[in-house]
Amino acid sequence: MTPLIWLVIAPLLGALAVLVVPARRMPAVALGAAAATLGAALALAAQVAGLGPRTVLLGGWTPPLGIVLKADGLGTAFAVMAALVMSGVALAARHELAPDKAGARAAYGFWPLMLLVWAALNTVFVSRDLFNLYVGLELLSLAAVALVALAGSREALAAAMRYLLFALTGSLLYLAGVVLTYSAHGTLDMAMLLARVPATGDGVALGLMTAGLMAKTALFPFHVWLPPAHAAAPAPASAMLSALVPKASLVILLRVWFEAMPDAAGDAALLVMAGLGAVAVIWGGVQALVQRKIKLVIAYSTVAQLGYFIIAFPLTGGDSAVKPWSAGAWTGMVFLALSHGLAKSAMFLVAGIWYSACGAQELRDLKGLARALPMSAFAFALAAVTLAGLPPSGGFTGKYLMMQAAFVAGLWPFALVMVAGGLLAAAYLYRPLAALFAKDEAISCAPVSRVRQAVPLALAAAAIILGVLSAEPFSFIKIGKPDAAVEGL
């Protein structure tokens, strides 16, 4: 079987396996599954880089009857990023979710849920069938909601409930769009949809799917579920919730718009979307600025970052052909999403360390931690560099390309939003950083192993390296890049 299949199956099998082994073996089995999935992702990446997009027909059936899995640059890049983050999360969770710390239920529930999330993510990254995507997305949402509820506290349950409501509503909207599409064209395969005869209902279908996906992505004004949910979950869970889960619906959004129905896109809708994205950038930034809890700052930062991805939609096109030096907004946005995933997971993992080792939950508790736990503070700082879009991080590179595209497209106000968002990010991330750096001799922290501190540092460093050595990742992302992304919507 090809790595493409393993990418989906390995975490799924892992999820089943952890359920049947004794509780104390769960982490080891999960780590084994994680290693297998990471290997599959890397092998797939090597294949894609060498041979171009890989395709698998499940059961040998061709669309519209069968389901096709296809790994292009975009999906594989996300899968690799997810594999890195997930491996880091698994390593961190070994400590964070030890039964004596997190409680037996959370310790038990975390591993299968984590592997389920991973399986769902990988499914979404490589699926090309609208309904298959729906199933993947549902699996993802349900596992994610369960992860949020894992802590079992009142806040956690309320947050999970809220999350579930938004997720379900989003699913329904998406499903409605899928149904409309199918009734109009009789197929849900993207390649076939691209070649379809446009129907009148296409716009409505696309609108419904988009709205549903936006609710799941937590785009403003549907972001309210995200911060409490991410803050309530155990830190490793938050890391993947914030870094990866919104990316799944984002990838679907990208696929639907650029690969299935680029022709249905219209300027007005694009501007509505990008307008919401712009508001999200500012709103999320302002909210992050007024938070007291470190996890809420990080969570609202996700709200803001998600806005950038949506802003990119109207900015695409015209890149290589008109401006040979530019990779364009689509690539830039993907790049931004990848580095966001790495940096954001690093941040949540660091916040977890601070909480579990020093009991630090609020910003003011962070005083003196830079001296007590220098590696984790450094990891946070590196991640902050990425999130604020400062060079030489991947965040900068992505934002740079998007801003350039905004100018080329004549939509410079969006570039202004991105600049303002970057400044806001610098401002809200400065608060924890300054607190970390302040002096406090009285701080006392439980010892934290180097490996545990090294995991977030490695993830944050990966986000920086993505910027320093960006040429290779860029050409990788471009593999199988849809024509619509080059020409614009």
Partner 1 sequence: MNAFLPVLILMTSLLPAGVIFFIPQASHTLRNTINIGAAVAKLALVAWMLLAVAGGASYESVLPLAPGLVLLLRVDALALLFISLSATLWLLTTIYAIFYLGNKAELSRFFGFFSLCVAATTGLALSGSLISFFLFFELLTLSTWPLVAHKQDQASLAAARQYLMFALPASASLLWAIIWLESYTGPVLFTDPPDLSGIEPWKLRTIFALFIAGVGAKAALVPLHGWLPSAMAAPAPVSALLHAVAVVKAGAFGVVRVVFDVFGASDMQALGVDVPLALLASFTILWGSWRALDQGEVKKRLAFSTVSQVSYIVLGAALAGPLAMVGALAHLVHQGLMKITLFFCAGIYDERAGVKKIEGLNGLGQAMPWTSVCFSLGALGMIGLPPLAGFVSKVYLGLGAIEVGAPWVVAVLIASTLLNAAYFLPLVYRLWFLPLGEGVEVSAQAESGAIGLIAPAVVTAAASLGVGLLAASAVSPLGWASLIVARGYLE
Partner 2 sequence: MNGLDILALSASALVGLGIYGLLAARHLLRRVLAFNLVGSGLFLWFGAAGARGGVGVDPIPQALIITGIVVALAASALGVALVVAHARLSGPTLPEEAPCDPEPDNRA
Partner 3 sequence: MSALAPIVIGDVWPFALLVWPLLIGLVAALPGGARWALRLLPLAPLPALGFALAGAPGAVLLPDLILGTSLEAGRGGPLFIGMTALVWAMAGLHVALTFERGARNGIFAGFWCLTLAGNLGVFLAQDIASFYVAFAAVSLAAWFLVVHDRTPEALYAGRIYIILAIIGEASLLAGLLIGAQAAESFAIAEVRSALAGAPLGGLAAGLLMAGFGIKAGLVPLHIWLPLAHPAAPVPGSAVLSGAIVKAGLIGVLAFIPAGGFPALANAVVILGLVGAFGAALWGLTQNNPKAVLAYSTISQMGVMLALSMTAAASMVPFYALHHGLAKGALFLLVGVFLAATSARQRIVVLVAMGAIGLSVAGLPFTGGAIVKAAAKAEAPAWLALAISASGVTTSAVLGWLLVSLAAKPAKPAESARVWPILLAGPLMLGLAAWALPHAVAPMLGAPDWAYFTKAAALAEVGLPVLVGGLIAAVLMRKPLPSAPTGDLIALLPAISRPRFGRLTAAWQSAARSFRGLLIINSRRSAKAAQSGEAALLRWPLAGALLTATTLLLAWSLARA
Give the interface with partner 1 as residue ranges (CB under 8 A).
Answer: 320, 323-327, 331, 335, 371, 374, 385, 388, 390-392, 396-397, 400-401, 403-404, 407-408, 412, 415-416, 419-420, 422-423, 426, 430, 434, 437-439, 467-471, 474
Q: Are 451 and 399 in contact (CB under 8 A)?
A: no
Q: Is 460 exposed, middle or buried (0-12, 13-18, 19+ CB in 10 A)?
A: buried
Q: How far apart are CA 110 and CA 4, in angstroms?
A: 25
Q: Using CB under 8 A as the criterion, what x/- string covers residues 58-97 for binding partner 2?
A: ------xx--------------------------------
| DSSP designation for 127 | B
Residue 408 near which of partner 3, partner 1, partner 2, none (CB within 5-8 Å, type-dependent) = partner 1
224 lies in the site for partner 3, by CB under 8 A: yes
Q: How far apart are CA 332 and CA 478, in angstroms?
A: 11
Residue selected from 179, 272, 375, 420 as contacting partner 2 according to rule CB under 8 A: 179
Q: What is the dihedral of CA 270, 477, 244, 227, to 10 degrees?
A: -40
286 lies in the site for partner 3, by CB under 8 A: yes
Nearer to partner 3, 182 or 476 (CB): 182
- C-alpha closest to that of 429 among 296, 309, 288: 288
Strand 68-71 to strand 54-57: parallel, antiparallel, or no bridges (unpaired)? antiparallel
Q: Residue 90 CB: number of other CB atoms within 10 A?
A: 28
Site for partner 3 in 290-329 (CB under 8 A): 290
Helices 73-96 and 104-126 pack at an angle, to 10 degrees, of: 170
176 lies in the site for partner 2, by CB under 8 A: yes
**Measured from the CB of residue 67, what is the shortest distance to partner 2 in angstroms?**
11
Q: Residue 46 CB: number of other CB atoms within 10 A?
A: 12
**Measured from the CB of residue 200, what is the shortest distance to partner 3 in angstroms?**
8
**Measured from the CB of residue 212, what is the shortest distance to partner 1 in angstroms?**
32
Nearer to partner 3, 75 or 262 (CB): 262
211 lies in the site for partner 3, by CB under 8 A: yes
Q: Is 362 helix (H, G, I), strand (E, B) or coil?
A: strand
Q: Are 184 and 243 in contact (CB under 8 A)?
A: no
168 lies in the site for partner 2, by CB under 8 A: yes
Residue selected from 276, 350, 369, 455 as contacting partner 3 according to rule CB under 8 A: 276
**Measured from the CB of residue 403, what is the shortest distance to partner 1 in angstroms?**
5
Helices 394-408 and 450-468 pack at an angle, to 10 degrees, of: 30
Site for partner 3 in 167-186 (CB under 8 A): 169, 173
DSSP string, 463-479: HHHHHHT-HHHHHHHTT
**Measured from the CB of residue 444, what is the shortest distance to partner 3 in angstroms?**
31
Q: Are 428 and 298 in contact (CB under 8 A)?
A: no
Residue 182 near which of partner 1, partner 2, partner 3, none (CB within 5-8 Å, type-dependent) = partner 2
Among the listed ranges 164-172, 294-302, 330-338, 434-442, the one in contact with partner 2 (CB under 8 A) is 164-172
Residues that bind partner 3 (CB under 8 A): 162, 165-166, 169, 173, 200-204, 206-208, 210-212, 214-215, 221-224, 264-269, 272-273, 276, 283, 286-287, 289-290
